[in-house]
């Protein structure tokens, strides 16, 4: 029996042409394996090119229809066009009946893509509605309408100060070669860039984006990963849309995004320095067991057990001792002819002539990637989801770590465990770049990691907290050999 699809609640306008609004929302939800209910706020009489009239639903009828909120509690809500203040207040009142944890994604459309006005909200109702939203997704003109500021810099700072936790400013209206959407989150500013498809005026692109984000958040993706996936959906929609009128095009129903060509290139806060020379390839791209250890003593023990790759991961220590340990690690790697990576300390790794360095997402911002590439060191990087993965794929690192797959007690993780299904999806996006799974992996998890298409596993506690570490290494090697044979 298959799991129940996630329920998305869609509240917005009916576009009589079917290009946008609730019809587009329903097509999007169905394509992304969800199920939706729909509550209309208005009927917008329009063709693909022309908007004729808007008829707002009576608030009493709207309130009645919104009782579906408790009858079929949604996993996420997508809000679209709202005709007037009374409707906005009615929606707000009804939303109090459901847990505050249900994400609300508002596409604040007030002008349709067939060029007609759908609604008019006062600043005070906009402000109140924003307090119940998790994410609001204005394009550049809507940024001004939402904030009441015509200057886009002022509009942006107003929305960041007064808006919801997440703000996605869509760049579709800007005339650049890349269509870049910018997500302002509490921790970071993410850029999602995809090639602009020239000469296509696709109907319902805002509906597709916000509804797809709602679908992905309903399935438990965090906001940046949901936006990344939605951008891939939108990009594929643009590439497969068919003309329906003079300049207008309609996208087919989307499907779950898997094609790497449609995923955006992401940037977190600042652009990463791209390296002219690239990073050295691994000598053994199928390296199997990858112990990650925190001392020279442990490194010696795992290398003596015959692993072809290992990592020295030392967090806090005196700089002189660290210097000595990194040099010792490099010497041990040479002695055992093993690929020894140094975690974090990239300057020391370059100085000591290490085989490679492993960097996390935060380290990537501060490390001199060109210096690492020029020194011909290999580079391994950590990722924890789509947005981070799309940030590092253009670097073509020597390997990409996909974590954390299962719950781990070795490190306090800010993200949720990914699980083997997501692991398979990330693996597919990595193409020819070697990958390694990390987080909560022992012999019992190796078959599902391999079934996800990942050949290599990085482990900490399965070795360092084992009662008999040499036996644990042998057991892990045996489990890997069994799945490679199968
Ligand atoms: C193989 C591998 N994968 C992931 C990590 C984690 O690296 P990072 O995100 O930099 O976190 P710290 O290890 O520095 O805490 C890793 N070390 N190795
Ligand atoms: C150091 C580390 N990095 C992770 C990531 O996901 O980036 S998970 C992790 C800890 C892995 O330890 P164990 O094998 O004991 O679960
Ligand atoms: Mg690190």
ipTM above 0.90, yes or no: yes
User: In this predicted structure, what is the pLDDT of residue 3?
Assistant: 64
Residue from 396, 77, 434, 383 nearest 224 by CA: 383
Cβ partners under 8 Å of residue 448, min gap 6: 420
Q: Which CATH number fits domain 7-268: 3.40.50.1240, 3.40.640.10, 3.40.1190.20, 2.40.30.10?
A: 3.40.1190.20
The mean per-residue pLDDT over the stretch 135-157 comes to 93
Task: Tell me the two tokens of residue 381.
Answer: 């990087």
Across 285-291, average pLDDT: 95
Longest dimension (CA), the chain: 79
Judge whether residue 20 has pLDDT over 60. yes
* Exposure string over 358-373, b if 16+ CB within 10 A, otherwise e: bbbbebbeebebeebb
| Mean pLDDT of the 300-322 span | 95
Per-residue confidence band for 196, with pLDDT thresholds at 50, 70 and 90: confident
The residue whose C-alpha atom lies closest to atom 10 belonging to ligand 1 is 360
Give the DSSP H/E element, type plus range, for residue 37: strand 35-46
- Quick one: 289-485 is in which CATH superfamily? Aldolase class I (3.20.20.70)
Domain residue spans in the chain?
7-268, 289-485
pLDDT 10s digits, 35-57: 999 999 999 988 777 777 889 99
Q: What is the pLDDT of residue 474?
A: 97
pLDDT value, residue 486: 76
Q: What does pTM read for this prediction?
A: 0.96
- 21 known member of a binding site: no
Burial of 461 (0-12, 13-18, 19+ CB in 10 A): middle
Which whole number is the average pLDDT over 480-486? 89
Q: Is 408 annotated as a binding residue?
A: yes
> CA dihedral defined by 374, 379, 383, 388, rounded to 10 degrees?
10
Q: Taking residues 278-300, report their average pLDDT.
A: 95
Write the pLDDT tens digit of every residue in 246-275. Answer: 778 999 999 999 999 999 999 999 888 765
Could you tell which of 359, 360, 397 is best to mutate to test the pocket of ligand 1, judged by most ligand atoms within 8 Å of the CB? 360
C-alpha–C-alpha distance, residues 400 and 95, integer Å: 42
| Over residues 380-407, mean pLDDT | 97
Query: In percent, how much of the chain has pLDDT > 70?
Result: 97
**In whole numbers, what is the pLDDT of the chain averaged over residues?**
93
Measured distance CA(182)–CA(189) in Å, rounded: 7
User: Binding residue per annotation — 335?
Assistant: no
Quick one: residue 453, left, alpha or beta (phi over 0 = left, psi -120 to 50 = alpha)? Answer: left
CA of 344 to the centre of ligand 1 (A): 8
β strands within 318-366, DSSP E: 339-343, 356-359
Decide whether any atom of ligand 2 lies within 6 Å of the 383 Cβ: no
Is the C-beta atom of 456 inside 6 A of ligand 1? no
CA 361 to ligand 3 centroid distance, Å = 8
313 close to 293: Cβ distance less than 8 angstroms: yes
334 is in an annotated binding site: no
With a 6 A CB cut-off, is 264 part of the ligand 2 pocket? no
Nearest CA to ligand 2 atom 7: 403
Query: Ligand 1 pocket test: which of 302, 311, 313, 430 has the largest number of ligand atoms within 8 Å of its C-beta?
Result: 313
pLDDT tens by residue, 413-442: 999 999 999 999 999 999 999 999 999 999
The torsion angles phi and psi of 266, rounded to 5 degrees, stand at -110, 160
What confidence tens digit (pLDDT) does each residue in 337-377 have?
999 999 999 999 999 999 999 999 999 999 999 999 999 99
By three-state DSSP, how is residue 86 classified?
A: helix
Which residues 6+ apart lie within 8 Å of 198 measured at CB? Answer: none
Interatomic CA distance for residues 217 and 270, integer angstroms: 25
Residue 440: CB within 6 Å of ligand 2?
A: yes
Q: Which atom of ligand 2 is nearest to the CA of 442?
A: 14
What local confidence, expressed as pLDDT, does residue 1 receive?
44
Mean pLDDT score, 380-396 = 97
Q: What angle do CA 442, 443, 449 make, to 5 degrees?
A: 80
- Give me 422's structure tokens: 């997501």
The dihedral through the CA atoms of 254, 256, 261, 264 has a sign that is positive
Question: Whose alpha carbon is nearest atom 15 of ligand 2?
Answer: 461
Does 167 have pLDDT greater than 60?
yes
Calculate how far, in angstroms, residue 435's C-alpha sits from the geometric centre of ligand 1. Answer: 13
Of 343, 357, 437, which is best to mutate to test ligand 1, by the most ligand atoms within 8 angstroms of its C-beta?
343
pLDDT tops 60 at residue 155: yes
Q: Is 363 in the pocket of ligand 1 (CB under 6 A)?
A: yes
| Ligand 2 near 398 CB (within 6 A) | no
Query: What's the 326 CA to ligand 2 centre distance in angstroms?
Result: 21
Q: Tens of pLDDT along 275-286?
A: 545 899 999 999
pLDDT digits (tens, 9 = 90+) for 72-131: 999 999 999 999 999 999 999 999 999 999 999 999 987 766 566 778 899 999 999 999
Which one has a higher pLDDT value, 450 or 54? 450
Question: Is any ligand 1 atom within 6 A of the Cβ of residue 188?
Answer: no
């Amino acid at each position: 029996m298959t799991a129940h699809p996630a329920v998305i609640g869609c509240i917005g306008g009916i576009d009589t042409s079917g290009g946008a609004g609730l019809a587009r929302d329903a097509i999007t939800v169905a394509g992304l394996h969800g199920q939706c209910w729909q509550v209309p706020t208005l009927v917008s009489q329009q063709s693909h090119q022309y908007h004729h009239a808007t008829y707002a639903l009576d608030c009493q009828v709207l309130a009645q229809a919104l009782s579906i909120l408790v009858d079929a509690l949604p996993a996420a809500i997508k809000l679209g066009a709202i005709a007037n203040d009374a409707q906005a207040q009615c929606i707000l009142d009804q939303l109090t009946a459901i847990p505050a944890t249900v994400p609300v994604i508002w596409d604040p459309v007030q002008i349709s893509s067939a060029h007609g006005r759908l609604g008019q909200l006062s600043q005070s109702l906009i402000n109140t509605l924003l307090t119940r939203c998790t994410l609001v997704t204005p394009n550049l003109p809507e940024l001004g309408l939402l904030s009441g500021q015509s200057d886009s810099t002022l509009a942006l700072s107003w929305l960041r100060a007064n808006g919801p936790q997440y703000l996605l400013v869509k760049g579709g209206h800007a005339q650049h070669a890349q269509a870049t959407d910018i997500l302002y989150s509490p921790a970071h500013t993410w850029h999602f860039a995809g090639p602009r498809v020239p000469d296509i005026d696709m109907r319902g692109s805002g509906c597709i984006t916000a509804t797809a984000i709602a679908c992905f958040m309903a399935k438990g993706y965090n906001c940046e990963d949901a936006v990344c996936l939605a951008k891939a959906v939108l990009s594929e929609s643009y590439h497969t849309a068919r003309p329906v009128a003079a300049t207008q095009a309609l996208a087919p129903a989307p499907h779950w995004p898997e094609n790497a060509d449609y995923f955006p290139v992401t940037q977190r806060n600042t652009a990463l320095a791209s390296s002219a020379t690239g990073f050295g390839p691994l000598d053994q791209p199928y390296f199997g067991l990858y112990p990650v250890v925190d001392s020279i003593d442990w490194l010696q023990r795992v290398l003596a057990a015959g692993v072809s790759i290992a990592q020295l991961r030392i967090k806090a220590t005196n700089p002189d001792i660290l210097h000595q340990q990194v040099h010792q690690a490099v010497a041990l790697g040479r002695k055992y002819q093993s690929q020894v990576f140094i975690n974090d300390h990239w300057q020391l790794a370059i100085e000591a002539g290490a085989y490679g360095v492993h960097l996390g997402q935060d380290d990537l911002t501060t490390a001199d990637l060109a210096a690492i590439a020029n020194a011909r060191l290999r580079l391994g990087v950590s990722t924890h989801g789509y947005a981070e993965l799309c940030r590092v794929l253009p670097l073509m690192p020597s390997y990409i770590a996909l974590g954390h797959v299962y719950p781990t007690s070795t490190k306090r993780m800010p993200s949720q465990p990914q699980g083997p299904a997501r692991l398979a999806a990330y693996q597919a996006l990595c193409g020819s770049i070697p990958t390694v799974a990390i987080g909560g992996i022992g012999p019992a998890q190796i078959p599902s990691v391999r079934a996800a298409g990942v050949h290599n596993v990085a482990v900490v506690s399965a070795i360092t907290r084992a009662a008999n570490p040499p036996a644990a290494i042998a057991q892990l090697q045996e489990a890997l050999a069994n799945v490679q044979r199968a």
